[in-house]
Structure 1
Amino acid sequence: MTRRTRRSRTVALAATAVVIALGATACGGSSGDSGSGTPGKGGTLTVLNKADFDHLDPQRVYTTEGQSMDQEILRTLTGWDESGSKPKLVGDLATDTGTPSKGATVWTFHLRHGVKYQDGTEVTAQDVKYGVERGFSSDINGGPPYAAQWLVGGSDYKGPYRGKQLDSIRTPDKYTIVFHLKQPVADFNETTTMTGWSAVPKAHDTGSTYDTKIWSDGPYMIKSYTKNKELVLTRNTHWSQATDPIRQQNVDGIDVKFGQDESAIDQQIKADAGTAQTSVQQWPIAGSDLAQLANDPSLKSRYHKIPAPGINYLAINTTRVKDLRVRQAIEYAIDKTTVRGAFGGSAYGDYATTMLSPGIGGYQKFNLYSANPAGNLAKAEELMKQAGNPKPTMSIAVENTPTEEHFADAVKTSLEHIGIHVNISPIDASNYFSTINNTKNQYDLTWGDWIADWPNASTVLPTLFDGRLIKKNPQSNQDLSYLNDPKVNALIDKAATMTDVAQRNATYGRMDRQILKDAAVVPLMYMNFSDMSGSKVGGVISDTILAEPSLVHVYIKH
């Protein structure tokens, strides 16, 4: 998933592996309550974000901020209860986590009775079916690829707007939905925690404009939404705590304000005056502020350091930077110490040498390039010499924020040492991922970060590096390096059919190594995300699946 970014998956995963992987990532973070105070009902929570969401439409959203906000508005078939020491998979719209049959190629879910939309009508299995189906339409692009990859007939289905249904989604009655898959997917019920498996009532579907008109079945509903300025949520009076095992409805409303500079948000929440006392941020603390704020003892009770199951990286476009030696030279030339400094230093995360991060099933520790995180210029210069000493000019895409532009400057400085000139292309943060994921917009170098959709390699490497998906997803391509290596593709196919966890994880480890041999990406940091809340905000949970401050139990202290 994208940033913070969200990601994808493609395999059978034994439940034990999920538990192990989750346990490994679900550590650290905040206590779940920003200091002392009495949990209360009422008040308004303010969320301060530097930019608007790419999408809130449940079938289109693929950023962690968007998915986190959607948890206040929408229910999914299954979900994560993160009120304990580690995330627990539970039924959300469904009564339980689903029943697999026929070798995990058929999955059946029974819906809770009495889950209501904002107009008091009941959520049905047919609404869930319609919601999943609309994600196949070319007008509703940008979301995860699982439905198209896994559902029988999904690769040819074009969505419901042409009057056709997808026969592999069956609804034998109002409360039962059955999915027929092309292959065994033992952890399909973890995929269904994502918003693409939310209900959308056909009568209220507004197509490509649904982002601002979502029909709520969660605790909050959209009162008003002015893009790039403000989103105001108010209580859904038909939501019932008795039907919802994950969320609470403590505050009267949520007011999301967009467009302030990251550092200005940091300083506002740090100062803790006025509405800042009842505010929280979703985007991470600015790199320029992180080291100072992370070490400020006065902020400890309202500072949330959330370990992310993910990676911050630089993608090298292999179709534009065709010479392997030049790409390898870039690997050696990048000074990760200055790069990490732009994001806030050691508090941001450890230096990365692999695309899979520690704690994700399939991670293997290896390093094919510089042992020194500051780089190895001698080796980089030698490789450029072998390539004929080209003096290329390359474009780098980054978000138009101070943190990202400082990062781009660090990359530019590193590469100028080996004769590569870099032009920086800042892109508006609210449109960043929809811009770089469109194959019309190709850059030589692209900043990206990726958080596993759930903690297994199958939600990272197949999505980011299966070159066969580039043509299938021209408007939502996640393969920023445009890598289409038959060796990698073969390993993806092999892993997808494996039911033995150890064997499959070993295959993902080999895949990771091959991607680095191709010098398709420069892994930069294994990430932590740090956020703050005001002194009157309570009930913030560290969401270690999305690496966001979860608001599902949030309250205002009185």
Structure 2
Amino acid sequence: MIHSSARRPTGRVPARGAVRSAVVLFLVAALAALTGCGSSNSGVAGVPTQAGEAGSGVTGVRAPSEETGGTLRLVSGDIDSLDPQRSYLPGVWNLMRLYARTLLTYSSEPGSTDELVPDLATDLGTTPDGGRTWTFTLREGVRFETGRPITSRDVKYGIERSFASDVVVGGPTYVVDLLDDPADPYAGPYQDETEGRLGLPSIATPDDRTIVFTLTRPAPEFPFVMALPSSSPVPIENDTGAAYGNDPISSGPYMVTSVDQVAGIALERNPQWDPATDDVRTALPDSVVLRPGLSGVARDQALLAGSADLDLSGTGVQQATTSRLDDDALAARIDDLTTGSVRLLALPTTVAPMDDVNCRRAVAAVVDRAAVQEALRGAGNAVRTSVLWPRAIAGAPEEADPDPDQAAATAALAACGRAEGFSTTLAVADVPGSVDVAEAVAASLAEVGIQVEVRPLDPTTFYASDVGNPDAVTAAGYGMVLATWTADFPTSASFLVPLVDGRSIRQVGNTNYARLDDAQVNAAVDAARAATDPAVAADAWRQVVYAVQETAAYVPLVENRVQLLAGQRLRNAVVMQPYGSYDVATAGVR
């Protein structure tokens, strides 16, 4: 959890004094009201529900409104950090749209929320050499909450903080991979003692409004990296290192005014924000309050009771809540979407007998996706998929959705010298949905003599060390890994490369769960990365998928779906596809 903080150094924003104190007291009181919603409170009376219809926030605007005022009340699970360079939770990234602007950001236009638009920058950036060098120009008139103008050096400094792995930990490291020189590693701004060097050499700031990035390789996806909160500006004079998340400095329409483990998090308007410099955020509410650390059922309860307007978590309503959604009024407040989160079976190529492609093909042939879907309680919670490609990303390969083929599996077993089948171990995070899926997979494989021991593992260490360390997977003999994979960016490259590129295998935090290092797949990735024409690139990434299918190292199963429940007061709500929730940057309550 984040630490308590309700302070602002004297003089940071002039002439606020008693007014700010009164606002903070009001917000804390509102937060306390959120904690008091109990199961006996239906909330139906006294809280008028905004009109709407099912799905209205996916491709349109739910309960449109341009009216300002009121307090937007948010709920969430645990918050990892309010430090933009340290958070790695999409729900928190959504919250950060309120106080951490970036060069680029996601559009708030309905149906186009997976597309980038300029934010602090004047355009989407220019590259003269196919993505190796990128130049951005900052807007004029943007300021921190302190009143100081935001310059290119502030953006550079914010990015440099991600290099300080001994101080700023937990956030994405794309900038490190793309901007660091392996021959002369940069240790971050807290250890930068190289004489005559002003920070990271691969970022140039020739003037206050220009920033130039020189990458280690061409990266057409680099603009998406610039939309992560980890690429937001930080004023060096206010950086408190590991404690910065207690008091982050705002570059957006709201500023964090209170962070308390009990009361929650409060934000109020940033008087230095100029709407003329911001084409994305409408900033309708006067204030925002967040109650973190709630269970899924408690979050649903708050939305049903009318004591919360929006759930940041992106997990949708819980199974225990769905029985109430038959009510027509509640059903009209639901937005149903696929999340881009794909459940897949990885077959580690370093563990016998999965080191034989034919043994892997036997598994791929007999897996029953319909049984997996049923284990997740039907099509409302999961959509079957047989391709490594989320539905929201255009240009997907043809979807075959095959039924189990026992004859093909039997032939493949014979080809790998295991005609009678074999035994293996399936590693799975010990959470109910995943264990149910693992059991369904094991049942379908048993039909052809493949005996699977389902081994539930501690979910807190599952990805970090159990299956995130390839040597540990080999040593434990995990012939199968049931994983859920979601890309950080809504692009085919972001989804595929960490899973299938052999050069992405690493000893710590590995996401190539199959330990796939295939020459044809790697060559296909290189060809896709080199493609500059969008149509050519889309086809090239499809060829990557086809090459991976030939290895049978991954068996896609289903893509998760969620049903978002809008709070009774929520207005102007748009489903933000990359974060799996409503966009807080445009939401209102009047």
TM superposition score category, shorter chain reference: 0.7 to 0.9
Aligned counterparts of 1:316 and 1:206: Cα–Cα separation in 2:
44
Instruction: Call closer, same or farther: CA 1:531–1:192 in 2, change over 3 Å.
Output: same
Q: Could you report, residue by residue, the CA deviation over 1:275-324 in whole angstroms, capped at 9, with x for unpaired residues?
A: 14x34353323563586566653224421223445533233333334343
Instruction: Call closer, same or farther: CA 1:282–1:236 in 2, change over 3 Å.
Output: same
Instruction: Call closer, same or farther: CA 1:421–1:535 in 2, change over 3 Å.
Output: same
**Counterpart for residue 5 of structure 1:** none
Shift of 1:78: 1.0
Amino acid at match of 1:115: V
User: How many residues were matched structurally?
Assistant: 515
Q: Could you report, residue by residue, the CA deviation over 1:378-414 in whole angstroms, capped at 9, with x for unpaired residues?
A: 654665564363322332125x3x4344334434544
Specify which of 506, 513, 519 is matched with residue 539 of structure 2.
Answer: 506
2:439 equivalent to 1:406: no
Shift of 1:85: 4.7
Residue 515 of structure 1 aligns to a residue in which SS?
A: helix
2:175 equivalent to 1:147: yes
Paired residues of 2:60 and 2:110 also in contact (CA < 8 A): no
Residue 172 of structure 1 aligns to a residue in which SS?
A: strand
Instruction: Call closer, same or farther: CA 1:210–1:336 in 2, change over 3 Å.
Output: farther
Q: Which has the larger radius of gyration?
A: 2
Shift of 1:537: 1.4
Paired residues of 1:466 and 1:489 also in contact (CA < 8 A): yes
TM-score (structure 2 length as normaliser): 0.76
**Counterpart for residue 21 of structure 1:** none
**Counterpart for residue 322 of structure 1:** 355
Instruction: Call closer, same or farther: CA 1:117–1:248 in 2, change over 3 Å.
Output: same
Aligned counterparts of 1:209 and 1:411: Cα–Cα separation in 2:
45
Paired residues of 1:73 and 1:220 also in contact (CA < 8 A): yes
Instruction: Call closer, same or farther: CA 1:532–1:54 in 2, change over 3 Å.
Output: same
Shift of 1:179: 1.4
Specify which of 155, 165, 171 is matched with residue 138 of structure 1.
Answer: 165
Shift of 1:128: 0.7
Q: What pairs with 1:9-408 in structure 2 (closer than 5 Å)?
A: 29-30=57-58, 33-35=61-63, 39-47=67-75, 49=76, 51-87=77-113, 89-102=116-129, 104-139=131-166, 140=168, 143-144=171-172, 146-151=174-179, 153=181, 156-160=184-188, 161-163=190-192, 165-186=199-220, 188-225=222-259, 230-269=264-303, 272-276=304-308, 278-286=309-317, 288=319, 292=323, 296-309=327-340, 311-320=342-351, 321-358=354-391, 360-365=393-398, 367=400, 371-372=402-403, 375-377=404-406, 379-380=408-409, 383=412, 386-387=417-418, 389-397=421-429, 400=431, 402-408=432-438
Aligned counterparts of 1:143 and 1:115: Cα–Cα separation in 2:
25
Amino acid at match of 1:275: S
2:552 equivalent to 1:519: yes
2:494 equivalent to 1:462: no
Instruction: Call closer, same or farther: CA 1:127–1:89 in 2, change over 3 Å.
Output: same
Aligned counterparts of 1:64 and 1:436: Cα–Cα separation in 2:
23
Amino acid at match of 1:214: P
Shift of 1:452: 5.9
Paired residues of 2:429 and 2:435 also in contact (CA < 8 A): no
Aligned counterparts of 1:219 and 1:434: Cα–Cα separation in 2:
35
Paired residues of 1:310 and 1:356 also in contact (CA < 8 A): no
**Counterpart for residue 486 of structure 2:** 450
Paired residues of 2:130 and 2:532 also in contact (CA < 8 A): no
Aligned counterparts of 1:154 and 1:82: Cα–Cα separation in 2:
38
Instruction: Call closer, same or farther: CA 1:44–1:29 in 2, change over 3 Å.
Output: closer
Aligned counterparts of 2:302 and 2:407: Cα–Cα separation in 1:
45
Paired residues of 1:28 and 1:305 also in contact (CA < 8 A): no
Amino acid at match of 2:140: H
Paired residues of 1:537 and 1:556 also in contact (CA < 8 A): yes
Bigger RCO of structures 1 and 2 (CA < 8 A, at least 6 apart)? 1
Aligned counterparts of 1:283 and 1:86: Cα–Cα separation in 2:
18
Instruction: Call closer, same or farther: CA 1:81–1:504 in 2, change over 3 Å.
Output: closer
Structure 1 alignment gaps of length 5 or more: 1-26
Residue 162 of structure 1 aligns to a residue in which SS?
A: coil
Q: Could you report, residue by residue, the CA deviation over 1:508-556 in whole angstroms, capped at 9, with x for unpaired residues?
A: 2221122222222221224443211211111221113333321111112
Paired residues of 2:381 and 2:562 also in contact (CA < 8 A): yes
RMSD (Å) for aligned C-alpha atoms: 3.4
Instruction: Call closer, same or farther: CA 1:156–1:322 in 2, change over 3 Å.
Output: farther
Residue 422 of structure 2 aligns to a residue in which SS?
A: coil
Q: Could you report, residue by residue, the CA deviation over 1:459-497 in whole angstroms, capped at 9, with x for unpaired residues?
A: 2211222222223xx444332322222222222122212
Structure 2 alignment gaps of length 5 or more: 1-54
